Amino acid sequence: MIIDKLSYSYLYSGFGKRINDALAYLIKTDFSKLKSGKYEIDSNNIFSLISEYRTKDETEGKLEAHKKYIDVQFVAKGSELIGYAPLKNQKIITEYNEQNDIIFYEGDKSFIKVDEGMFAIFFPSDVHMPGIKCKEKAYVKKVVVKVKV
């Protein structure tokens, strides 16, 4: 897992072309002009999912992980907490869904605050619980760039 401000994304240029392309997309795109939905960047290799929602209580969240894609999550508007833990002994609560590339877990986690203009990268070896409220439920516009492993 990596968390940083988008303005420091150049520090991660050694992570490969696809991660570089995902970060470049986040830098050059004005998300205030885009609606929620799926946007193709490089066919099925890199695409973005833009969503707008209200953050939720921790009890409403689920730890998730992916096998085929790395998540580059960018908060375009608002702030949220994201739960995180390395994938190890978590209990599977929903079996892997290959079509949606997602598996859900329960287990211990630590929370990190992701403010507007920040990004977090979650690899297949990371479990994460996005969309959790900081103090009160609030509006968030989030971009998740899916990068094929």
The strand ranges marked E within 78-135 are: 79-86, 91-97, 102-106, 110-115, 118-122, 126-132
pLDDT in tens, 122-139: 999 999 999 999 999 999
Task: State pLDDT tens for residues 50-77.
Answer: 999 999 999 999 999 999 999 999 999 9
Q: What is the mean pLDDT of residues 94-102?
A: 96
Q: Which of helix, strand or coil describes residue 139?
A: strand
Predicted confidence at residue 146, as pLDDT, reads 98
What predicted TM-score, i.e. pTM, was given to this entire model?
0.95
Predicted pLDDT of residue 137:
98
Alpha-carbon distances, residue 48 vs 21, 27, 31, 88 (angstroms): 12, 13, 11, 28
Residue type, 2: I
Mean pLDDT rounded to a whole number for the chain: 97
Which helix (H) or strand (E) is 76 found in, with range? strand 69-77
Model pLDDT, residue 88 = 95
Q: What is the C-alpha separation between 138 and 144, in angstroms, rounded?
A: 18
Q: What percent of the chain has pLDDT over 70?
A: 100
Map out the domains of the chain with their CATH numbers: 2-148 (2.60.120.370)
